[in-house]
Structure formats: structure tokens, C-alpha cells
Amino acid sequence: MADVEALAKVVAEKHSSLDVLINNAGIYKTPAPITQEGLDVRFAVNTLAPYLLTQRLLPLLGSSARVINLSSAAQAPVNLNALAGRIHLSDQMAAYAQSKLAITMWSRSMALAHKDGPAFIAVNPGSLLATKMVKEGFGMSGKDIGIGVDILIRAALSDEFATASGQYFDNDVGQFASPHPDALNQQKSDEIVDAIESVLA
């Protein structure tokens, strides 16, 4: 999180405004799943870091700006104790899927809290694309990574996403879709945000 704070500070020093923030960093499989702070690295990288970076850069993001958060087709109910680092998940996919639902949930929660902008949009860029994460995690080359690149450019710049704040775009089916039901539950989403805030406090 100190690295995220440092990044936000450098960006704020160099820029007075931002049009788009794409939270793209992600991790699935790692030999060291616990951070120095005792957090699950999947939650730290996939959920907490983008939330913290977004909060720090929010003053630079105007009403027409967009925050694009990388979600996934893999989404599973979030164990708040795992998110907070109080318990550790041994199942790599379980931790990854929970972290991706968590970012989808806080994306929607932030959209509801900032109705005048910026827009917050969760995007599944496509399953099993040819990324380092897929190669290392699944031992396969993966599909054309251009699929993911193209949808992120569209999400950042095209008119079709201009009024999509709070929505989830599933690039596996090529359209806006329903995320895991928990992401549409306001109470559960608020609990996720509260848990994230507690970890980062």
C-alpha cells in the first residue's frame, strides 16, 4: 500500500486532472500469497490497491472521467475475514474469484456514491487471455490479448460507456451483463467498502 500511496503522489504532482484511470494490475497464482502486512496478495493487488489508488486520485477525476476496473468472469462470494487478512485461503482460485467480485462490488458502490461522476465501470476483459498471469496460473498460452486491449480502449473512450457507471461489462459475451448477485446487493457492497476502509485505515 505504501507503493500505491507513492504512485498516487507522483501522478498528482505531474497532473492536475485525469480523464481515465484503468486499474489493470492483477495476480492469480503466487508462491508467496501473504504480504508483509499479513494480507492475501490477491486481495491486496486485485481489490485493495485499486481502491486506494482510486481514492487518492479522485480529486483529479472530473465528472466526465472514467474509472475502469478489471473484473473477471471468476466471481465468488467474499469472505470478509479473508479480505481483511484474518484468515488465509489456500485455494488460489477461491482467493482470486473473491478478490474480483470485491472489486466489482466496490465499483458499483462508488458509482452510487458519485452519481455526478466520475463513472465507475467493472469490465471482464475476456477469459483466459494471453497474459503472464494465465500462462503461469493455467499453463496455457491463452487467447489473443488484443481482445482485452480493445475492450479497455472502448470502455475508456467510447460513447457507449459514457453512461455506464455502476455497470459490469462481460467481454466473454460482448455486452453489459449481470455480475454475481452479491454485486447487486447494496448492503453487501457497503460491507465490502467498510471492510476495505478498515484494512486501509
Query: What class has domain 2-200?
Result: alpha beta
Buried b (16+ CB within 10 A) or exposed e, 33-66: beeeeebbebbbbbbbbbbbbbebbbebbeeebb
Give the global pTM.
0.93
List strand residue ranges (DSSP E) for the chain, in order.
18-23, 61-70, 119-124, 168-170, 175-177
Active site residues: 96
pLDDT in tens, 145-169: 888 899 999 999 999 999 999 999 9
The residue extents of the domains of the chain are 2-200
pLDDT in tens, 170-181: 999 999 999 999
| 118: its cell numbers | 466520475
